[in-house]
Amino acid sequence: MEQHKKVAIVTGASRGIGRSIAGVLASQEIIVVINYLNSENEAQKLLSQINDNGGQAVLFKADVSVESEVKKLVEFTVSQFGTIDCLVNNAGKIIQPGNSSTTEPIWNDTLDINVKSAWLMIRQVAPVMVNGGAIVNITSYVGQLGSQYVLPYGVAKAGLINLTKAYAKELSPKIRVNSVSPGNINTTMTQSAGADFISKTINNTPLKRLGETIEVANAVAFLLSDQASFITGVNLDVDGGYLLLN
């Protein structure tokens, strides 16, 4: 009998870290549901890349901070593939101004996309994982360190770490739940912060460079894999040692 291929949903997968996660999972013969909202062209490019490399993926547009759209995403995945084995809650963004002058709408939107979306996804996906599964939430070093420049984002990511540990307890022993906290990764978001920020960041990082999205993706893939079968409730820092010095 042919072994069942694992099925994974990756939210916010069209760009940056999410894009690398989707690519790495597809390279491991996991069927990937690529969730996106606004970046349809980028999502199509990723789908073509995965297909060209012999992987299997599909696209699904949904705002995962909205419960009705989350339900549609999960129902689509189950209707197409029968199950869900892996979930990566990667969708997130920084909305400016992120300092203490931020507004209530920005605060609410930031928490919705960075932490509420993960809660909604887990609520819908966990009952589908009848044979067990693994979930990874993408958090951030600022969720542990705090940052006056991205206040609501840091609060949301801190909440996501807490959510990870709470669900690791609730969903055990069948479903493992972990999180990955990237440091400063070489993405468009980081580059937009400017040369001075990047230079200071590198100087304050023991490994003396920015991280690459593939390095975060590899950490996620490990936590989803059977190699991590005795790991749950862990927040894994992929930050080049940044938190050691800051």
Instruction: Determine the Cα–Cα distance for residues 180 and 183; give it in Å rounded to an integer.
Output: 10
What is the rounded radius of gyration, in angstroms, for the C-alpha atoms of the chain?
17
* Tokens standing for residue 102: 């931020």
DSSP for 149-192, please give it: TSHHHHHHHHHHHHHHHHHHHHHTTTEEEEEEEE-SBSSHHHHT
| Contact between residue 95 and residue 138 where contact means Cβ atoms under 8 Å apart | no
Query: Known catalytic residue: 153?
Result: yes
Q: Shortest CA distance to 137 belongs to which of 5, 28, 9, 6?
A: 9
Contacts of 174 (CB under 8 A, 6+ apart): 129, 131, 132, 133
Asked if the peptide bond before residue 127 counts as cis, ω within 30 degrees of 0, the response is: no
Q: Choose, from 141, 153, 167, 242, the residue flagged as catalytic.
A: 153
Instruction: Determine the Cα–Cα distance for residues 119 and 64; give it in Å rounded to an integer.
Output: 10
Count of helix runs (H) and strand runs (E) in the chain: 11, 7
| Contact between residue 14 and residue 92 where contact means Cβ atoms under 8 Å apart | no
Q: What are the catalytic residues?
A: 153
